[in-house]
Amino acid sequence: MPVLDLKQLREQTDFVRDRLARRGGDYDLDAILQLDSQQRDLVAQRNQLQARSNEIGKAIPQKIKAGSDPKGPEIAALKSEGSEAKTQLSDLEPQVKALQDEMGDRLLQLPNLPSDETPSGKNETENVEIFRWGDEYKPTNPEEIRPHWEIGEQLGILDFKRAVKVAQSRFVNLIGLGAALERALISFMLDQQIAAGYVEVMPPVLVSTATLTGTGQLPKFAEESFKCAEDDLWLTPTAEVPLTNLYRDEVLDASDLPIHHCAYTPCFRREAGSYGKDTRGLIRLHQFNKVEMVKLVHPDTSADEHQAMLANATAILEALDLPYRVIELCSGDLGFSANRCYDVEVWLPSANTYREISSCSNCGDFQARRANIRFKTPGQKGTQFVHTLNGSGLAVGRTMSALLENYQQPNGAVQIPTVLQPYLGGRTVL
């Protein structure tokens, strides 16, 4: 399975090393290069032996036809040499495979290289704010602000306690108008993205190991995912996974590009390592709904497509009149598969801060190499890897939490944004 460009790793080792150093962490490139050298040496030996074995296979009947004694020393020597070559070949094959497997495992652990445009930084504290939109909801009396889970429970539309009984903590039941509001948000988001040119897909939410590996969730993030015990199937953490892998191991025509897809799916994440964070409310659940955008594009257009995807995500918040900001992730905070990423953060009055509601990532050819997604241009030799992009359009539960908090009224009611009212039978208030 191709991952990072091995040829680039061989020929531009210092460049790759410097780019990975911008991410932080420890990546043992020397071990990979040593394995690669050993594997290439063994392959060269194997090829020489195979070529010699083929020569002997042709030479024996030719010599017999020319008059050599089939039982004579000349033929016996050739047969002995051929037998020895086959024995050596059978010994080499498992060695080559073992080296290939180990090198492949190590390559799968390497993240994407940050782009030239990605700002350098060690962690999230060095992310760069790009711009803000909308007026932050800040009542003169901060005590008037209630968190969304409190609002939802008082309105009877969010039920966390019974969800614990049905499943465990970090799940929620949406009741009555809560379920209706969630459906309204999903339908509105899908309608917006379809109008923006995305083709809707309703994909499987159970995906294979190969599928998760193709987009980079495996092997690194296995502990974050839920796996079916008796099948090679996992609950998808995001629709990015099945949407991108629709085209795994395919060679597309250049005229097929760009491909724009959107999908609503439930998403499942263990949230391993996040214990103690956002333990209440809709922000960090094990199961949540999301509308996702995925693009497969020509490498020459991926930067522009990235900006367009960001605009598609923020258009939802502007239509809902929810204040937000856009930050660009620094190299140390960049997601595993991304080479450049914008986070969209929505304003949550109860926390007096912005919280992530969408990540719009350009993955370059990183996922396409892992999933072997290529395209061919007529009249040109060979194929190229597509560039893949993904972004939330949006995380539905987090949108609901922002809506409840930003549209809360002193009397306990919640106004419904104008654009959602047709999806709720004209209702204007919860």
Which positions are catalytic? 269, 284, 356, 359, 398
The alpha-helical segments, DSSP class H, found in 109-225 are 148-155, 161-166, 177-195, 209-215
Strand runs labelled E in 139-286: 158-159, 173-174, 199-200, 206-207, 234-235, 251-253, 259-268
Strand runs labelled E in 283-339: 287-297, 324-328
Strand runs labelled E in 298-383: 324-328, 340-348, 353-362, 374-376
Find out whether 404 and 347 touch, Cβ atoms under 8 Å. Answer: no
DSSP per residue over 48-61, as a string? Answer: HHHHHHHHHHHHHH
Among 216, 231, 159, 208, which Cα is nearest to 4's?
Answer: 216
Euclidean distance between CA atoms 38 and 46, whole angstroms = 12
Euclidean distance between CA atoms 249 and 376, whole angstroms = 13
Backbone torsion region of residue 224, taken as left when φ is above 0, otherwise alpha when ψ lies between -120 and 50, otherwise beta:
alpha
Residues 6+ apart with CB under 8 A from 92: 42, 45, 46, 49
